[in-house]
Structure 1
Amino acid sequence: MTPNIHLSPRLIVPDPDRASAFYQVALGAEQVFSAPRSDDDCRPSVIELRVGESSFRISPAVSSWGWLSPDDLGGSAVLLEVEVDDPDAVGERMIAHGAAVVVSIENRPYGRRSGRIRDSFGHLWIITGELR
């Protein structure tokens, strides 16, 4: 029997509020939860975003906890893959809001239209969808 498991990646970023705004505009994410850090609280802030049926969280870097952003690490060790109806439109929105193309979005020989984008926080995204 498989246990009931829900996986929620947490992206570590320099500025969670700015990152939340970016993901809302670029990916159409909806902010569903926010727990800001208070001055007397040792816990970092967390923002939860939902995209379609998936969710992820973002928090600030806290080096003493080992929570490092891609810039702290010299790059991202993870690829986030998002399947969308229109990869080109999502890629264009990400780029318009500060992301950079790593591999252009185009039809691939394995039967998908995809490419790779580095968001302005250093996280790498595979944007993929049906062939055009």
Structure 2
Amino acid sequence: MHVPKGFAVVTPYIFVDGAEKYIEFLEAAFNAIEIGRSKAPNGRIANCQLRFDTATIMVSEASEQFPASSGAFYFYVEDADTAMERALDAGAEKIMDVENMPYGDRQGGVRDTSGNIWWVSERLSAAPYF
């Protein structure tokens, strides 16, 4: 089996209304880097691939056939406090303050401009969760 570099065997694929603005949000909020894009004949974004360090997600403009979807993402960062500030500055809504968690992460939560939840987490320990 071949899985492209930066992708996982399960890769999130998000359909959103206003894909161009959403991509801009992900770049501003989470330092996502666009690595590929294809457009449909009508000019809408059919697929945009965005890299987050070692992970990749895909974003597409929602349509009648593929309506907007939402999900929740657990996102590891170097500094949870700084990452939360950046996400809020980019337009995310805070849903949980950054705090040290009993499972070894420093974590906060935001809802992005398309309704997705991002758990912004900094691992404080090299120990496993359980």
TM-score, structure 2 as length reference: 0.81
Q: Helix, strand or coil for the counterpart of 1:47?
A: strand
Residue 34 of structure 2 aligns with which residue?
Answer: 31
Report the aligned-residue RMSD: 1.9
Q: Helix, strand or coil for the counterpart of 1:122?
A: coil
Give the Cα–Cα distance (whole angstroms) in 2 for the partners of residues 125 and 12 of structure 1.
16
Residue 61 of structure 1 aligns with which residue?
Answer: 62
Alignment check: 8 A CA contact 2:72 2:118 kept: yes
Answering whether residue 16 of structure 2 is matched by residue 13 of structure 1, we say: yes
Read off the aligned partner of 1:84 and give its amino acid letter: V
Q: Helix, strand or coil for the counterpart of 1:45?
A: strand
Post-superposition Cα deviations, 1:27-47, rounded to whole Å, max 9, x if no partner, equal 1111000101222x8x86111
Answering whether residue 72 of structure 2 is matched by residue 79 of structure 1, we say: yes
Post-superposition Cα deviations, 1:46-86, rounded to whole Å, max 9, x if no partner, equal 110001110001011123x2x2324xxxxx4x310110101
Read off the aligned partner of 2:23 and give its amino acid letter: S
Q: Helix, strand or coil for the counterpart of 2:23?
A: helix
Change (3 A) 1:90 1:17: same
Residue 50 of structure 1 aligns with which residue?
Answer: 51
Alignment check: 8 A CA contact 2:37 2:45 kept: no
Match of residue 22, structure 1, among 21, 25, 33: 25
Give the Cα–Cα distance (whole angstroms) in 1 for the partners of residues 32 and 56 of structure 2.
9
In terms of fraction of residues, the more strand-rich structure is 2
Identity %: 25
TM-score, structure 1 as length reference: 0.80
Answering whether residue 112 of structure 2 is matched by residue 113 of structure 1, we say: no
Give the Cα–Cα distance (whole angstroms) in 1 for the partners of residues 107 and 26 of structure 2.
19
Q: Helix, strand or coil for the counterpart of 1:120?
A: coil
